[in-house]
Amino acid sequence: MVRTHNLGFPRIGGKRELKFALERYWKNQIPQQALLETGLELRQRHWEQLSNLDLVPVGDFSYYDQVLDMSFMLGNIPKRAHRSLANELDQYFRVARGRSPKDSESQCVHAGEMTKWFDTNYHYIAPEFTSDTAFSLNPNRLLQQIEEAKAMGVNPKPVLVGPVSYLWLGKSKDSSDRLELLPKLLSAYKELLQKLASAGVQWVQIDEPILVTELDESWCEAIKVSYQAFDKSPVKLLLASYFGELKENQSLLCDLPVSGIHLDAINGQDDISGIMAQLKDDQVLSLGVINGRNIWKTNLTQTLNWLEPIAQQLKSRLWLAPSCSLLHVPVGLANETQLEHDIKSWLAFAIQKLDELNVLSMALNSGRASVQQQLDDNAAAVAQRASSERVHNHVVKASVAALHSQMEKRQSDYTIRADQQRQIRPLPKFPTTTIGSFPQTNEIRQARLRFRKGELSQADYTKFIQGEIRYAIKEQEKLGLDVLVHGEAERNDMVEYFGQQLQGYAFSQSGWVQSYGSRCVKPPILFGDISRPKSMTVEWIKYAQSLTEKPVKGMLTGPVTILNWSFVRDDQPRSISCLQLALAIREEVLDLEREGVGIIQIDEAALREGLPLRAKQWPGYLGWAIRSFCIAANGVKDETQIHTHMCYSEFNDIIEAIASMDADVVTIETSRSDMELLGAFDDFQYPNEIGPGVYDIHSPNVPEEDQIINLMTLAAQKIPEARLWINPDCGLKTRTWEEVVPALQNMVAAAQRLREIA
């Protein structure tokens, strides 16, 4: 009999229960007990939803991040968070967010660095290491959850981040070699496995997603050493990789003395035969046959066609699962009442994916006839999608075919443009600006909701948003910022807002996916060829500009980010969808320019996270991604200033690609990593203007003026002052005005002092 299991379930809750409980707790509006109860309810609900499976994950639930959970379980807690410890969960939030609900202003610490989880839009808190990092196991949380799961009558399979991926995902704070910590770390893991065995656990899923990346000798060796060390493990280990292909790491994996291997059979289908050939007789092979990264129905018949021979060969040694944790898809379709019927029939969220898994295992275990109806329904939906007229637009396909390289280039080089831009819009040295959004207050959210429900007329809604724009402009003028923004009050989300105005997009009502901590995004669903019926932002920006003498930036989301933060088609290459988006944004850029908007920011917050996990595949991706940005941005006149913004600091490895986008100004996230990005400028002279973020907007803490000056002084050692801008790290929508005003006051004051020094 083929067995089924799951690698991880979305923890935020179908109605984002966890998000709301967390945020209330952080604001001291509910006691910790209430938060813990919500957590327990969610875990129990999820195990119930998974109860058809042979094994269910435990430890995939998290109050913030599973990597941070691992750090706490291993007792690897940054020293700065040790002080005046109330309880463990509060200490945990102190590391995650820079403060716990009990902390006073003076007890704030800088939050742990947040980094993208492989090529997803999930962010984890990077473990911190120094040469004297010690581990001391604290497995109580996990052990307790195992008991909870057992009480539900399910078969628990704890999920751990593997030791080598744990080291790899972390950062050395004293430039010592993380791998030197491996022996100590392995002792902690061994102790943990022992504890799990004592708790009656049979199988442990141990994730080493780094196996789908290019590993150098020392990391390969670390993998070998680690799993040799677990050879006589008291529990069976299912070693899981996902998100890509193992390629040259296949034999490394197959040589390890583990009881089972999980492969991503969606992104790593080509690995299957190689792994099968090396699989030992007593090893289990778990195939991730349902895509855990998108929301389309699986073509079940097609899957069975290739799976059946494997099942015949492996029998009960074959396990089936989604390709990766379902953390990256929404919980379920049950609450989706507004999706059009045909589009909804093409979709599968987490719960539906588990149903698909069930159908597959029944078909393998009892024959296709036992699930004929489900297979027929599935085939009908898949076929209807493939031929739907809503998916295919021949005009759009023709415009993409007609693209030419002239459309990718600015008229003149940066230096010529910069002169013209300075003449037309003189700005002080170290010009100050923000990244676009201002706080999204409850009032704003309410108004958008009421408008959507038809309780607020178009005219009243427009008036309301104009009021918000007026407020944002007035505040910025008071603060003395140089380049203003309209504040993005009309946008629920920087991608959904555009998707809603483009043809080819559909929207779920509650298709939330965790981005970090309590932050969720609701990725729109790009299902068909993309076109733009009319302008999307022009009226708001024009209104904002009419209120002030200072320049107001037009604010757009770029094609690569729209693509990377959407659920996208799996029936054509991503590059084609991206070019279609680029053409739509280009039309918007040209509309803005025509209406007199002189500065246009095109956010490519997510450009980096689309990078393939293997460096060998980077040039291919960067080729079409940068081309798409250039098509969107570079049709403007010389005097129009193009800005772009990126949400990350690891810049070094793609700095040349970023330079080739030829944006006049790029703003980036840097403050949490102490200007780490500046290393990029040692070997590469970035040719255009740059605004390294000096205010960490992911933390509620207000940056000090001196801190900002220090960061900018560091930046000025690498980049000529004349090309530096001063700005926060990212948009301010998640903050409150009470936090934002003092922070920006400090930022503007710092800019003024820098101008005096300079």
Query: 647, 678, 690, 709: which one contacts Zn ion (CB under 5 A)?
Result: 647
Min. distance of Cβ 414 from Zn ion in angstroms?
23
Three-state secondary-structure class, residue 542:
helix
Site string (447-486) toward ligand GLN, x via CB under 6 A: ----------------------------------------
| Binder of residue 172, out of Zn ion, ligand GLN, none (CB less than 5 to 8 A by kind) | none
Min. distance of Cβ 636 from Zn ion in angstroms?
22
412-441: contacts with ligand GLN (CB under 6 A): 435-437
Query: 81, 605, 607, 702: which one contacts ligand GLN (CB under 6 A)?
Result: 605
For residue 608, the 8-state DSSP code is: G
Place of tokens 């980049």: 719
Site string (564-603) toward ligand GLN, x via CB under 6 A: ---------------------------------------x
Alpha-carbon gap, residue 695 to 701, rounded angstroms? 9
- Return contacts of 654-661, CB within 8 angstroms, 24+ apart: 654/608, 654/611, 654/618, 654/622, 655/680, 655/681, 655/684, 655/686, 656/684, 657/622, 657/626, 658/607, 658/686, 659/684, 659/686, 659/687, 659/688, 660/626, 660/630, 661/604, 661/626, 661/629, 661/630, 661/633
Place of tokens 């019927």: 341
Alpha-carbon gap, residue 70 to 66, rounded angstroms? 6
42-101: contacts with ligand GLN (CB under 6 A): none
Which residue number places its CB atom closest to ligand GLN?
A: 731
| Binder of residue 663, out of ligand GLN, Zn ion, none (CB less than 5 to 8 A by kind) | none
Q: What residues have CB less than 8 Å from 130, skipping those under 6 apart?
A: 172, 173, 174, 176
Q: Does the footprint of ligand GLN cover residue 608 (CB under 6 A)?
A: no
- Binders of Zn ion: how many residues, by CB under 5 A? 3
Among 130-138, 325-333, 727-735, 738-746, which window interacts with ligand GLN (CB under 6 A)? 727-735
For residue 235, the 8-state DSSP code is: S
| Binder of residue 631, out of Zn ion, ligand GLN, none (CB less than 5 to 8 A by kind) | none
Q: Between 647 and 680, name the residue whose CB sits nearer to Zn ion.
A: 647
Q: At residue 569, what are phi and psi to the nearest 5 degrees? A: -60, 145
Q: Between 485 and 647, name the residue whose CB sits nearer to Zn ion.
A: 647
Q: What is the enclosing helix (H) or strand (E) of 26?
A: helix 17-26
**8 A C-beta contact, residue 670 and residue 714:** no
Burial class (CB in 10 A: 0-12, 13-18, 19+), 372: exposed
Q: Does the footprint of ligand GLN cover residue 10 (CB under 6 A)?
A: no
Alpha-carbon gap, residue 667 to 689, rounded angstroms? 9
Q: Does the footprint of ligand GLN cover residue 163 (CB under 6 A)?
A: no
Q: What is the enclosing helix (H) or strand (E) of 262?
A: strand 260-264
Among 74-82, 237-245, 454-462, 730-738, which window interacts with ligand GLN (CB under 6 A)? 730-738
Q: Between 284 and 743, name the residue whose CB sits nearer to ligand GLN.
A: 743
| Binder of residue 436, out of Zn ion, ligand GLN, none (CB less than 5 to 8 A by kind) | ligand GLN
601-630: contacts with Zn ion (CB under 5 A): 605
Alpha-carbon gap, residue 656 to 610, rounded angstroms? 16
Q: Does the footprint of Zn ion cover residue 730 (CB under 5 A)?
A: yes
For the chain, the straight-line distance linking the first and the last C-alpha, in angstroms and rounded, comes to 74
Q: Catalytic annotation on 46?
A: no
Among 73-81, 152-160, 382-390, 728-736, which window interacts with ligand GLN (CB under 6 A)? 728-736
Burial class (CB in 10 A: 0-12, 13-18, 19+), 370: middle
- Binders of ligand GLN: how many residues, by CB under 6 A? 13
Min. distance of Cβ 663 from Zn ion in angstroms?
14
Site string (620-649) toward ligand GLN, x via CB under 6 A: -------------------------x-x--
Q: Does the footprint of ligand GLN cover residue 731 (CB under 6 A)?
A: yes
| Binder of residue 747, out of Zn ion, ligand GLN, none (CB less than 5 to 8 A by kind) | none
Active-site entry in 46, 123, 262, 698: 698
Burial class (CB in 10 A: 0-12, 13-18, 19+), 731: buried
Look at residues 603, 342, 622, 349 and name the one whose alpha carbon lies nearest to residue 497. Answer: 603
Q: Between 303 and 557, name the residue whose CB sits nearer to ligand GLN.
A: 557
| Binder of residue 733, out of Zn ion, ligand GLN, none (CB less than 5 to 8 A by kind) | ligand GLN
**8 A C-beta contact, residue 52 and residue 3:** no
Q: Does the footprint of ligand GLN cover residue 536 (CB under 6 A)?
A: no
Q: Does the footprint of ligand GLN cover residue 494 (CB under 6 A)?
A: yes
The residues that touch Zn ion, with contacts defined as CB under 5 A, are 605, 647, 730
The residues that touch ligand GLN, with contacts defined as CB under 6 A, are 435-437, 488, 494, 555, 603, 605, 645, 647, 730-731, 733
Please give the positions annotated as active site.
Answer: 698
